[in-house]
Amino acid sequence: MSVLLKWRVLVLVLVINSVAGCGYHLTSSSSQHLGGSQKIWVPFFTNESISPTAQTVLRRAFYEELHALRGLNPASSEGNADLVMKTRIVSYSSKAVSYSAVDQAMQYSLSLAVELEIRKKGETTPLWKGQLHGEKQYPASTNLALQRNSEEQALDAAARVIAHKFITALEESY
């Protein structure tokens, strides 16, 4: 073998070793906190907002996203859960963000802030605790039924944004 070929092989081996040992990994494959065989309890949110439906929409979004993204199943009660959440809706607001030339609202923005905490069963120290915010814009309508439907869809989208942020924050916290 020539000296040039030996150097090329040596450099290639060094590059492969440095890339293989860099520590990068997929969050879904290495999560210590969220495992597919675990059961989670998400209670109804303490609701300090003006929305009577926000707690139900958020709870459903958390169960669906945790199951779809991490394979967690809902527990039948807090006592049967491996993971327990403590939740509180801090604020809910909907305000006009754009107007037409005749000063009529064209688009609204729904904003939702939530405090969350998750613990493993029997532990006092939380795995993650913090506040998350979700926002979604929706079109204005002169038809009240269409307006309300758009607001409900925006609430569902904002709840899913918060659920995704929660899963990401939990997995990045260790």
HEC assignment per residue over 5-51: HHHHHHHHHHHHHHHHCCCCCCHHHHCCCCCCCCEEECCCCEECCCC
89 part of a folded domain = yes
As a whole number of angstroms, the distance between CA 115 and CA 111 comes to 14
Which pLDDT belongs to residue 29?
Answer: 41
7 part of a folded domain = no
99 part of a folded domain = yes
| 174 residues of the chain, pLDDT tens digit each | 677 777 777 777 666 766 555 555 444 443 455 666 789 999 888 888 888 889 999 999 999 999 888 888 999 889 899 999 999 999 999 999 999 999 999 999 999 999 999 999 889 899 999 999 999 999 999 999 999 999 999 999 999 999 999 999 988 875
At 95, which CATH number? 3.30.160.150
97 part of a folded domain = yes
The residues, any chain, with a CB within 8 Å of residue 6's CB and separated by 6 or more, are none
Which pLDDT belongs to residue 45?
Answer: 85
Structural domain count, the chain: 1
Which pLDDT belongs to residue 23?
Answer: 53
Which pLDDT belongs to residue 22?
Answer: 53
The residues, any chain, with a CB within 8 Å of residue 97's CB and separated by 6 or more, are 107, 108, 109, 137
> What residues make up the domain containing 53?
29-172
pTM: 0.77
13 part of a folded domain = no
85 part of a folded domain = yes
157 part of a folded domain = yes
3 part of a folded domain = no
Q: How far apart are the first and last CA of the chain?
A: 48
